[in-house]
């Protein structure tokens, strides 16, 4: 039943509050400087957000966690949202952190590509284009010899021998100056490196080494992309980030434009599920973006976001951070430019979404089954008619879409007549030809099929490598080993589609085989009578009727037939 506000006895300290159902499912996570006052505001007659009445009516109780400071509450809120993914909070679409390039604070520094930078490291990023960042690391290693190995090896390593490392593990020499030069490149002074690459590209071109020249050209593009070349210039843009926001329904995008020394130097975008409160969505992204990154002096936001976010940013920076919502002047232009970029990214994301409905179905299926991913499904089905035409087939789904190159058909070759043993026969043949394994092996069938294939996986030592499930048509019930049966709803549509596709594919194969058998000449079943000898018979006797009326001796007289084959042909006819 809905929460009774008079029964709430919350503290007046800062902390985090959680709206929950009786089953313990978290519907919403929020932060507060004063928990009691903040939660009371949800029961006001005129709530400030459209979703609040629905949230209050669906929640059965409200829990809270007290923290020492509002900044701690902000960090805890971020962690709880990541853990519970509440329905009414704004959620990052992939909930992932962006990668950084880091140079560690070790005595012999090391360059890293990482989403979780080590303590004390110098950081550059985050980078939305991970591939370009990795290529720049390769460049730094090649041109400056910066090590990337986890430990120093006294005998050196392969990277040293192929010219990718200056070997500080053997002799330090000028390694510190190399690191300093690499840092200058990452700080934006990459012209020396670009100039060197251009000279290298020109040299390759002059000597007709066009492939090598193309690689140099691509490296130049990678450096420029990662180091974010100048986009716009203004004396007002001194160490500030502008936040742009756009949404279409519950699909939203936030873009951060970073400006340093009067230059817009880069852009990072965060797609998210927007729940109607721009302030909350912006706060969610800021807490994610600056969790591993030093905030700038000024942050320009599309709507006021509260004093304690400003305090947390100042704490992260180690100095004053000004959060502004400019209404006029040059800073408004930068803020509007961020909005325009957010609109453009939103349109791109919408186009991606419309083209990836299958991937979304696969992702929802993975969540439903408690799996990390469900990007590759292989499904088996069997078909026969009164013991005739015993065939099987497997279909493959990649990212929710049919991978028709991986579809396979099987003719049952053993004496098995029941569906379960035929399925085992076909799956075993498939297992023996695999080099990699799907995220799920799905069988059209029930518990008997599940046990049969499970025993087969145990026999081949694959029970821990191939996740297995069977899907019965009755009520779309999914069976798994050591799991409760699950009646699939809309979230399981990828599994139902895989089963239905396997059923369609095997039935088509079965129909074709029956059709071919009905049209086939009975003589094709005669052992030793191939297509060439059959053609010889037809030419000799002038057609099928002549063969039917021929004697054993007449048949044996045909070139390539002989008495024994003539006997078999005559018996087949008569």
Burial of 114 (0-12, 13-18, 19+ CB in 10 A): middle
CATH number given to 240-354:
3.30.420.10
Mean pLDDT of 20-36: 86
Mean pLDDT of 437-462: 90
pLDDT score recorded for residue 454: 92
Higher pLDDT, 263 or 15: 15
pLDDT score recorded for residue 262: 55
Fold of 364-516: Nucleotidyltransferase; domain 5 (3.30.420)
- Distance (Å, whole) CA 119 – CA 443: 49
**pLDDT tens sequence across 145-187:** 888 888 787 777 777 777 788 788 888 777 887 787 778 777 6
The reply to whether the predicted model has a pTM over 0.85 is no
Under the banding of pLDDT at 50, 70 and 90, the label for residue 395 is: very high
**pLDDT tens sequence across 405-421:** 889 999 887 766 678 88
Higher pLDDT, 198 or 75: 198
User: Domain segments of the chain: what residues?
Assistant: 5-89, 100-227, 240-354, 364-516, 522-573
pLDDT score recorded for residue 377: 94
Phi first, then psi: give them for residue 409, nearest 5 degrees: -120, 150
Q: Which of 73-77, 372-376, 450-454, 459-463 has the lowest mean pLDDT?
A: 73-77
* Exposure string over 280-313, b if 16+ CB within 10 A, otherwise e: bbbbbbbbbbbebbebbebbbbbeebbebbbbbb
Under the banding of pLDDT at 50, 70 and 90, the label for residue 453 is: very high
Under the banding of pLDDT at 50, 70 and 90, the label for residue 234 is: very low
**HEC per residue, 465-523:** CCCEEEEECHHHEEECCCCCCEECCHHHHHHHHHHHHHHHHHHHHHHHHHHHHHHCCHH
pLDDT score recorded for residue 143: 76
- Distance (Å, whole) CA 262 – CA 231: 10
182, 140 contact by CB (below 8 A): yes
Extract the runs of DSSP E, i.e. beta strands, from 191-302: 240-248, 251-260, 263-273, 298-300
Mean pLDDT of 46-73: 81
Under the banding of pLDDT at 50, 70 and 90, the label for residue 379 is: very high
Under the banding of pLDDT at 50, 70 and 90, the label for residue 94 is: low
Mean pLDDT of 503-532: 72
240-354 and 364-516: same fold? yes
Q: Quick one: CATH architecture of 522-573?
A: Orthogonal Bundle (1.10)
Over its C-alpha atoms, the chain yields an Rg (Å, rounded) of 34
Under the banding of pLDDT at 50, 70 and 90, the label for residue 235 is: very low
- Distance (Å, whole) CA 427 – CA 227: 51
pLDDT score recorded for residue 228: 46
DSSP state of 432: T
Phi first, then psi: give them for residue 382, nearest 5 degrees: -120, 160
pLDDT score recorded for residue 471: 92
Mean pLDDT of 94-109: 75
90, 274 contact by CB (below 8 A): yes
Most confident segment among 111-125, 251-265, 481-495? 481-495
- CATH homologous superfamily, domain 5-89: GIY-YIG endonuclease (3.40.1440.10)
**Residues 6+ away with beta carbon under 8 Å from 356:** 399
**Residues 6+ away with beta carbon under 8 Å from 36:** 8, 10, 11, 12
Average pLDDT of the chain, as a whole number: 80
**pLDDT tens sequence across 103-118:** 898 888 888 888 777 8
Under the banding of pLDDT at 50, 70 and 90, the label for residue 134 is: confident
Q: pLDDT > 90: what percent of the chain?
A: 8
pLDDT score recorded for residue 381: 92
pLDDT score recorded for residue 316: 85
Consecutive H or E run containing 213: helix 210-227
Q: DSSP secondary structure string, 154-207?
A: TT--HHHHTTS---TTT--TTHHHHHHHHHHHHTT--HHHHHHHHHHHHHHHHT
Query: Does residue 247 carry a pLDDT above 80?
Result: yes
């Amino acid at each position: 039943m809905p929460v009774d506000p008079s029964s709430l006895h919350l503290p007046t300290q800062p902390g985090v509050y959680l709206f929950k159902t009786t089953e313990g499912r978290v519907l919403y996570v929020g932060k507060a400087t004063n928990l009691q006052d903040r939660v009371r505001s949800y029961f006001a007659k005129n709530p400030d957000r459209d979703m609040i009445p629905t949230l209050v009516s669906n929640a059965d109780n409200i829990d809270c966690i007290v923290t020492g400071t509002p900044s701690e509450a902000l960090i805890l809120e971020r962690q709880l949202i990541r853990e519970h993914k509440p329905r009414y909070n704004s959620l990052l679409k992939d909930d992932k952190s962006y990668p950084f390039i880091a140079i560690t604070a070790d005595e012999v520094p090391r360059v890293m590509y990482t989403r979780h930078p080590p303590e004390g490291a110098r950081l550059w990023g985050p980078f939305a284009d991970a591939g370009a960042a990795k290529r720049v690391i390769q460049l730094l290693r090649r041109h400056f010899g910066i090590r990337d190995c986890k430990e120093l090896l006294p005998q050196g390593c392969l990277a040293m021998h192929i010219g990718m490392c200056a070997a500080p593990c053997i002799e330090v020499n000028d390694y510190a100056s190399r690191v300093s030069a690499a840092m200058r490149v990452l700080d934006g002074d990459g012209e020396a490196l670009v100039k060197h690459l251009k000279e290298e590209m020109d040299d390759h071109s002059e000597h007709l080494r066009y492939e090598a020249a193309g690689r140099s050209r691509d490296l130049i593009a990678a450096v420029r992309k990662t180091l974010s070349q100048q986009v716009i210039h203004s004396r007002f843009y001194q160490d500030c980030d502008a936040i742009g926001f756009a949404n279409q329904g519950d699909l939203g995008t936030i873009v951060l434009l970073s400006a340093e020394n009067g230059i817009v130097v880069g852009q990072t975008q965060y797609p998210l599920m927007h729940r109607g409160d721009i302030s909350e969505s912006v706060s969610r992204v800021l807490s994610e973006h600056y969790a591993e990154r030093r905030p700038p002096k000024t942050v320009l936001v599309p709507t006021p976001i509260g004093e304690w976010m400003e305090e947390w940013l100042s704490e992260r920076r180690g100095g004053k951070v000004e959060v502004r919502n400019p209404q006029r002047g040059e800073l408004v232009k930068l803020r509007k430019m961020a909005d325009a970029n957010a609109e453009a990214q939103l349109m791109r994301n919408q186009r991606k979404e419309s083209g990836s409905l299958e991937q979304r179905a696969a992702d929802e299926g993975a969540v439903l089954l408690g799996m990390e991913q469900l990007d590759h499904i292989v499904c088996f089905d069997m078909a026969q008619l009164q013991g005739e035409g015993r065939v099987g087939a497997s279909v493959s789904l990649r990212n929710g879409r049919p991978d028709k190159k991986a579809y396979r058909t099987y003719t049952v070759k053993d004496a098995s007549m029941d569906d379960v043993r035929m399925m085992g026969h076909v799956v075993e043949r498939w297992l023996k030809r695999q080099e990699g394994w799907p995220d799920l092996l799905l069988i059209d069938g029930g518990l008997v099929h599940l046990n049969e294939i499970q025993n087969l996986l145990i026999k081949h030592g694959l029970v821990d490598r191939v996740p297995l499930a069977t899907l019965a048509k009755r009520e779309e019930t999914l069976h798994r080993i050591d799991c409760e049966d699950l009646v699939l709803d809309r979230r399981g549509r990828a599994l139902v589609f895989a089963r239905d596709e396997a059923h369609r594919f095997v039935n088509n194969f079965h129909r074709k085989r029956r059709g071919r058998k009905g049209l086939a000449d009975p003589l094709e079943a005669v052992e030793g009578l191939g297509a060439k000898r059959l053609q010889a018979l037809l030419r000799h006797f002038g057609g099928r009727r002549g063969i039917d009326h021929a004697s054993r001796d007449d048949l044996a007289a045909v070139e390539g037939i002989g008495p024994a084959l003539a006997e078999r042909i005559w018996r087949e006819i008569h």
